[in-house]
Amino acid sequence: MRSSNIDPHIFIENRARFMKRMKPDSIAIFNSNDELPVNGDALYPFRQNADLYWLTGIQQEDTMLVLFPDNPDPRYQEVLVLVRPNELKEKWDGHRLRREEATACSGIRTILWLDALDGVLQPWIHLAETIYLNTNENDRKANLVPVRDYRYAQEMQARYPLHCYERSARILRDLRAVKSKLEVDAMRKACEITHQAFLRLLRFMCPGVWENEIEAEIWHEFLRNRSTGPAYSSIIASGDRARTLHYVSNDAQCLDGELVLMDFGAEWGGYAADLTRTVPVNGRFTRRQKDVYNACLAIHRFCKSILKPGITLNDYHAKVGDEATKQFLKLGLLTKSDVKNEDADNRAYRRYLYHGISHHLGVDVHDLGTKTEPLKAGMVLTIEPGIYIEEEQTGVRIENNIWLTKDGSIDLMAKIPIEVDEIERLMKKG
């Protein structure tokens, strides 16, 4: 893990918050993700289960966490389970955590080896009334592959059918959405590294460059700043490709006169940044490009003015739709007749802005959090309005990361260039 100096108190606090929500005489068990095969003996790069990472800070495969706050032996109220280091395997696959290293990362003092877990877990289960098991509960994605969490849940329910079972996901959705100060500090660092990468891109951009060359510059800047890499697949979309929201081919040439939409963010200490900027390939916006960009920026700033604790995302999006309508009328994209005759369930502005404006951000780039309940202080969300014009074969999006506080909000990316004049000035210097 390149960003190895992440403060373990993040995970100590996270576990304390989770255990405070557990029922009396209950035990919670968390598993790492599977290692997934590509072909032959090759594996996809391992990505840790986000919930397990949020609770432990451990990135290693074959890891488990057992939380049993009412265990009569206080040594076993928090137990981290790791694969036993094997000298021969390490010659092939590299170093595996020792006990003292795992404690330094997680703050957990009791470390057991995976091959010794069964002998101690069963007596703990017999002492417990309730077993918390974890699942990936995301409204936008169904789990069609029987991943480890679901297999483990089936095994436990078959083995201990008379226990009460609870879903850890219900607690984690609430807890992960509200960040501690230490978590926000990690996200600030991710934003700082992302800022440096954007400045590098403004110096690098010129007509004829390829999208994947821009992506390579992002990787270089992230890694040289001890980021673990991109928090998600970077979107480098020039010209009409910017209208494809999750464009990740990044294989076209950026042409003179085009805009290029760049959606990327560093991961640091397991926490994500998520930035989008749209810039002219040749360093100068045309008049029309400037008008569309400034309209998007006006919507962005309106979003920032109303995204505060107490509002729900549903109400927020409705108000943003009203502002987008005003801006699209000014741009000539909509007419008064379009607005007057719009379908309430498919408003006229949706032709040019067809995605949500904000999502929760944290360990996952689309982090856990509520959509229907009022937002709370401590949450971190994106603001990312866009304008996508098929007739003009162009797309613009502007995105920053916002930390909600009891007094309003703080823009974690406030120092990253966003104004037309500033972007042009920096590109000219490059």
**Cβ proximity of 404 and 379 under 8 Å:** yes
Q: For residue 31, give the nearest of 3, 1, 61 by alpha carbon.
A: 61
Q: In this predicted structure, what is the pLDDT of residue 429?
A: 83
- When pLDDT is cut at 50, 70 and 90, the band that residue 88 belongs to is confident
Q: In this predicted structure, what is the pLDDT of residue 139?
A: 76
Q: Do residues 234 and 124 share a domain?
A: no
Q: For residue 272, is it within any domain? A: yes
| Mean pLDDT of all residues in 173-183 | 96
pTM, two decimal places = 0.95
Q: For residue 269, is it within any domain? A: yes
| Mean pLDDT of all residues in 394-407 | 97
Question: What pairs with residue 408 in β-bridges?
Answer: 405
CB atoms within 10 A of CB 165: 13
| Mean pLDDT of all residues in 62-85 | 97
DSSP summary character for residue 132: E
Q: What is the CA radius of gyration of the chain?
A: 24
Q: Do residues 154 and 214 share a domain?
A: no
Domain final residue, candidates 130, 161, 176: 176
Residues 6+ apart with CB under 8 A from 299: 320, 323, 324, 327, 385
Residues 6+ apart with CB under 8 A from 303: 316, 320, 323, 357, 358, 383, 385
Q: Do residues 74 and 49 share a domain?
A: yes
Q: In this predicted structure, what is the pLDDT of residue 97?
A: 95
Question: What pairs with residue 166 in β-bridges?
Answer: 132
Find the range with the poorest average confidence among 48-52, 55-59, 366-370, 416-420.
Answer: 366-370
| Mean pLDDT of all residues in 85-104 | 93
Q: In this predicted structure, what is the pLDDT of residue 163?
A: 98
> SS3 of 111, please?
strand
Q: In this predicted structure, what is the pLDDT of residue 2?
A: 46
Contacts 24+ apart (CB under 8 A), 58-63: 58/32, 58/82, 58/97, 58/102, 58/105, 58/106, 59/1, 59/270, 60/32, 60/96, 60/97, 61/32, 61/33, 61/35, 62/32, 62/114, 63/31, 63/32
| Mean pLDDT of all residues in 398-425 | 97
* Domain span holding position 29: 9-176
Average predicted confidence (pLDDT) for the chain: 95
pLDDT surpassing 80 at residue 308: yes
The more confident residue out of 136 and 330 is: 330
Q: Do residues 313 and 379 share a domain?
A: yes
Q: In this predicted structure, what is the pLDDT of residue 371?
A: 83
Report the percentage of the chain scoring pLDDT > 90. 92
Residues 6+ apart with CB under 8 A from 222: 193, 197, 229, 230, 266
pLDDT surpassing 60 at residue 402: yes
Q: For residue 198, is it within any domain? A: yes
**Cβ proximity of 222 and 265 under 8 Å:** no
Q: Do residues 145 and 194 share a domain?
A: no
pLDDT surpassing 70 at residue 222: yes
pLDDT surpassing 60 at residue 415: yes
Q: In this predicted structure, what is the pLDDT of residue 72?
A: 96
DSSP summary character for residue 74: G
Q: Do residues 172 and 189 share a domain?
A: no
| Mean pLDDT of all residues in 176-201 | 98
> SS3 of 146, please?
coil
**In a 10 Å sphere around its CB, with 0-12 CB exposed, 13-18 middle and 19+ buried, how is residue 273 labelled?**
buried
DSSP-assigned states of every residue in 274-289: -EEEEEETTS---HHH
| Mean pLDDT of all residues in 369-375 | 90
Q: Do residues 302 and 245 share a domain?
A: yes
Instruction: Please give the Cα distance from 90 to 98 (Å, whole number).
Output: 12
CB atoms within 10 A of CB 398: 22
- When pLDDT is cut at 50, 70 and 90, the band that residue 4 belongs to is low
Domain final residue, candidates 120, 142, 176: 176
Domain final residue, candidates 121, 143, 176: 176
Number of structural domains the chain divides into: 2
Q: Do residues 196 and 147 share a domain?
A: no
Residue with tokens 């390149």: 2
pLDDT surpassing 60 at residue 1: no
> SS3 of 153, please?
helix
| Mean pLDDT of all residues in 331-337 | 97
Q: For residue 1, is it within any domain? A: no
What token pair was written down for 64? 């488990």
Q: Do residues 139 and 283 share a domain?
A: no
Residues 6+ apart with CB under 8 A from 151: none
Domain of residue 100, CATH code: 3.40.350.10
Report the percentage of the chain scoring pLDDT > 70. 99
> Judging by DSSP bridges, how do beta strands 380-383 and 266-268 pair with one another?
unpaired
| Mean pLDDT of all residues in 279-290 | 98
Q: Do residues 163 and 214 share a domain?
A: no
pLDDT per residue as tens digits for the range 73-84: 999 999 999 999
- When pLDDT is cut at 50, 70 and 90, the band that residue 336 belongs to is very high
Find the range with the poorest average confidence among 129-143, 172-186, 240-254, 310-324.
Answer: 129-143
| Mean pLDDT of all residues in 403-422 | 97
